[in-house]
Structure 1
Amino acid sequence: MLSVLSRARKSVGRAVIALAALAVTACEPVGMTQGGPSIDRSQPVPVALLVPGGSGQASDELIARSLQNAARLAVADLGNVRIDLRVYNTAGQPSQAASMATKAVDEGAKIILGPVFAQEANAAGLAVASRGVNVLSFSNNTDIAGGNVFVLGPTFQNTADRLSRFAVGQGSGRIMVVHDRTAAGQSGRAAIERGVARAGGSVVATADYEFSQNGIVSATPGIVERAQATNAQALFLTADTAGALPLVTQLLRENGLPADTARFIGLTRWDIPSATLSLPGVQGGWFALPDPGVYGQYDQRYRAAYGEAPHPISGLAYDGVAAVGALLKRGPADALSGRALTQGSGFVGVNGIFRLLSDGGNERGLAVAQIRNNQVVVIDPAPRSFGGAGF
């Protein structure tokens, strides 16, 4: 689960979507911006897309290209709704994100999609807050959400709520939280605790470990002992595939925690990279992911159009354009106001259904999957509307 992708993790792992959210300096979330720029539907509506191009790093260029491609694919799908998509490179830097956001609005942008990294999104939002322009960032870090900044990325809380409801419904409501001793781990633990409480389950224990190999090795026996002493039916893990997950799951099983009495639940995506699926420790584990049927169609269309696989976060750009297009199609002059963006019925994108919340966060319809014999098996499908199963 991204943060989205903090600059502190410049690596291939940072470019994977599963990915832990890191703490950032952010403005205090304030009330949602109700107003918005006036829209003239007789002309193409200028929409700014802020991408991390120009940083000189191959991973950023890949993300930038994939976001642009996805956004253009979405624009082409809008039919009679005309969008003038304008791309601005931020180099992944907050200062440049702020200046590009300002430039975009000066040049007529009615809404901003992006940028990717949380610090950038915070800076861009602050730069245009007084102009009444909303920012739909590709971050999932709710620390920077609020006011005119929304996050489109899948949030810890959304995932924790979905998996907690499912676990309680399956009779696994006695849950132990196991988390990294990091800012992301602490944030994940808090989201899980809230999710379990909302679902009517019980957090019977919590345990953490130092984010290092030695720290995990030394903490594992105590975690197993605590899980057994509290009769935990499931261990909800904050670890991600780019970090502690492979070692944590392996050692917990090797130290005597049986899979048939203590299931693993993951707060992050366990299917990226796909090599994770072959790890013995994750077999039988549950995690959440976007509607695989809907995303699969997008993946095929993207490959056909551009000759390469889409970056995992590229669907957020498509979703952002889809939301803007749906609102513009309705025609009111305030179609891109905060009030319009947070309408309760939500939107449909390539990651399934989603809606923006008044606090700048989001709610997404997620499927619950299990890893069986090195394969991803959906055991509870993603909801297709809000208020149905899964919500």
Structure 2
Amino acid sequence: MSDDDHPASGPSGPFPARASRRTFLVMAGATTLGTALSACGSMPESPPPQAGLPTEPAPQMPQQPANSIGTGSVRIGLLLPLGASGNAALAAQSLRNSAEMAMSEFTGANIQLLVKDDGGTGPGAQAAAQQAIDEGARAIIGPVFAHTVAAAGQVARQRGVPLVGFSTDTNVATQGVYLLSFLPQTDVERAIRYAASRGRRGFVGIVPDNAYGSVVEAAFRETVPAVGGRVLGIERYATGDGGKYAEAAQRAAASAREADAIFLPDAADAVPQIIQALAAAGVNMSGKQLIGTGLWDDRRLFAAPSVAGGIFAAPDPAGFRAFSERYRARYGQEPVRTATLAHDGVSLMAALVNAKGEMGITDAAIQNPSGFIGVDGIFRFRADGTNQRGLAIMQVGNGTSQIIDPAPRSFAGAI
């Protein structure tokens, strides 16, 4: 997450049964890890020492750190703000639980998680990363916030250790520092492409004047012309002040009358007010496609009649529902929405190690263009550290949202 983030986006990508959840599929070649393990099992063993010759004592395994999960031979750092204040610590515990659950669900996971508390601070993340690597970590999962990912990532890159973090701020992503989070840019691209595929050509954006607004506006400006559309206008409004919605709507009114798609990347407390302000400014909203982002995945917004028919991109909800059921059965409470990131991060590392041993955790393996299947569907990492996800198109209506265009099952075609 970015420094002031709340969990983004909506639900997830399914695994049909518990047994199949135990195998994290590397999509290249459509093979499971069982195949790789069988191949490894056919390797000849080292010959016994010759009789009468002295033998070296068996090497002793390093002592298991106090705060660790699992007993595998390959160590992976898990950096979380467990000692931070407020909601950050609660979210961190949910992420830790999810990582533990992934270890229990992955058959034969030959990894050990070294859990480190970064305290939610840059210096804390830097120290935690250093400690994990000094204790033998071959990769790092986490941290959560942009400033902690940047700090830990600097250490990891210097030591040649890949890091898979949870921030949504792509400014901290780079070669060797990967983001597994739900990126708003992916939401925008998927939804705009879908709208264009249904004949929408004239787009207007009304966006919040904040960091999130800047990110989604940039993605909007880039994607619309790429799919054959035209950006007819973009207006910004100050956040936290309902009166600014009317001013922005007035400025956007002329362009919005010509548009057949209106982009409103904000949350449930803002979007209905903006729609009302556009109507008050003389914009006939009938027939115009409303487009949102993962912030729309909110029951309060689903209940707003003015948003009915609007679309947004999100992971298929089925995966998160199944994940949540298993999490509740194990821990007796609800997981935070981003808990799936820790689960998939651990499963990813376990899959790479089980396939090729500790030397299997490389940038090339992490950047596998065929991608991976996780709780929230398919995903893959770009060389610049950002990710792509296979998202569904959800449509708002009757107090809920439903899939109108399924999430892709592979990266063979466009998302």
- Interval of TM-score (by shorter of Structure 1 and Structure 2): 0.7 to 0.9
The offset of 1:256, in angstroms, is 4.0
Number of aligned residues: 355
2:327 maps to 1:299: no
- Residue 247 of structure 1 corresponds to 273
Matches within 5 A, 1:252-267: 252-267=278-293
Letter in 1 for 2:260: Q
| Contact residue 277 and residue 371 of structure 1 kept, 8 A | yes
Task: Say which of 350, 354, 362 aligns to 2:387.
Answer: 362
Aligned pair partner of 2:74 in 45, 52, 57:
45
| Distance (Å, rounded) in 2 between the aligned partners of 1:345 and 1:129 | 25
Alpha carbons 2:266, 2:295 under 8 Å: kept: no
Partner of 1:232: 259
Match of 2:338 among 295, 313, 317: 313
Corresponding residue for 1:31?
none
* Distance in 2 (alpha carbons) for counterparts of 1:107 and 1:289: 38
One-letter code aligned to 2:74: V
Amino acid at match of 1:155: L
Match of residue 119, structure 1, among 147, 150, 153: 147
1:279 aligned to 294, 304, 324, which one? 304
Quote the residue 1:195 is aligned against: 223
Q: 1:85 aligns with which of 95, 106, 113?
A: 113
1:346 aligns with 2:371: yes
Aligned counterparts of 1:111 and 1:250: Cα–Cα separation in 2: 50
Displacement of 1:246 after TM fit?
A: 4.3
TM-score, structure 2 normalization: 0.81
Residues 49 and 86, structure 1, Cα contact 8 Å, conserved in 2:
yes
Once residues 267 and 207 of structure 1 are traced to their aligned partners in structure 2, the CA distance between those partners, rounded to angstroms, is 17
Of 295, 304, 325, which aligns to 1:269? 295
For residues 253 and 293 of structure 2, the distance between their equivalents in structure 1, rounded to whole angstroms, comes to 19
User: What is the aligned partner in structure 1 of residue 15 from structure 2?
Assistant: none
Q: Which residue of 219, 230, 242 corresponds with 2:248?
A: 219
- Aligned residue for 1:288, secondary structure, equals strand
Cα 1:246–1:136 change in 2 (3 A) is: farther
Q: 1:343 to 1:255 in 2, by over 3 A?
A: same
Over the residues paired in the alignment, what is the CA RMSD in angstroms? 2.1
1:265-310 CA distances to partner (integer Å, 9 max, x unpaired)? 01233123x2222123322211111121222211211111111111
1:17 corresponding residue in structure 2: 8
- SS at structure 1 position matched to 2:181: coil
**Within 5 A, what are the aligned runs for 1:67-106?**
67-106=95-134
Deviation at 1:333, TM superposition (A): 4.6
Offset of residue 128 of structure 1: 2.2
Give TM-score, length-normalised by structure 1: 0.85
Instruction: Give CA-to-partner distance per residue, 1:313-336, whole Å, 9 cap, x none.
Output: 111111111211221221155311
CA distance in 2, matches of 1:260, 1:253: 10
User: Shift of the alpha carbon at 1:226?
Assistant: 2.2
Give distance in 1, aligned partners of 2:217 and 2:295: 16
Q: Please state how far the C-alpha of 1:43 moved relative to its aligned partner.
A: 4.9
Q: Deviation at 1:255?
A: 3.8
Percent identity for Structure 1 against Structure 2: 34
Using a 3 Å threshold, how does the CA distance of structure 1 residues 279 and 131 change in structure 2: closer, same or farther? same
Name structure 1 gaps, 5 residues minimum. 20-39
Deviation at 1:147, TM superposition (A): 2.7
Question: Which residue identity lines up with residue 93 of structure 2 in the other structure?
Answer: R
Residues 162-192 of structure 1 deviation map (CA, whole Å, 9 limit, x = unaligned) = 1121111111132112212223212211111
Q: Is the CA contact (8 Å cut-off) linking 1:51 and 1:89 kept in structure 2?
A: yes
Aligned to 2:396: 371
Measured after TM superposition, the shift of residue 355 of structure 1 is 0.5
Q: Which secondary structure state, in structure 2, belongs to the residue aligned with residue 76 of structure 1? A: helix
The answer to whether the 8 Å contact 1:334/1:340 transfers is no
Cα deviations by residue, 1:218-253 (Å, 9 ceiling, x for unpaired): 22222223211xx21111122234x63343234234
Kindly state the Cα deviation for residue 18 of structure 1 after the two structures are TM-superposed.
Answer: 4.3
> Which amino acid counterpart does residue 135 of structure 1 have in structure 2?
L
Q: Give a deviation string over 1:106-140, Cα, whole Å, max 9, x none.
A: 11111111111111101110122111111111012
Aligned residue runs from structure 1 range 52-63, under 5 A: 52-57=81-86, 59-63=87-91
Provide the secondary structure at the position in 2 that maps to 1:334.
Answer: helix
Aligned counterpart, 1:26: none
In 2, distance between residues paired with 1:254 and 1:348? 46
Give 2:407's aligned amino acid.
Answer: A
Check conservation: 1:90, 1:97, Cα contact below 8 A: yes
Partner SS for 1:15: coil
Q: Contact 1:74 / 1:321 at 8 angstroms: preserved in 2?
A: yes
Asked if the contact 2:2–2:167 (Cα under 8 Å) also holds between the matched residues in 1, the reply is yes
Distance, in Å, in 2 between the alignment partners of 1:130 and 1:113 is: 16
Q: How has the CA–CA distance of structure 1 residues 166 and 87 changed in structure 2, closer, same or farther, with 3 Å as cutoff? A: same
Q: 1:185 to 1:49 in 2, by over 3 A?
A: same
Q: Distance in 1 between matches of 2:77 and 2:279?
A: 48
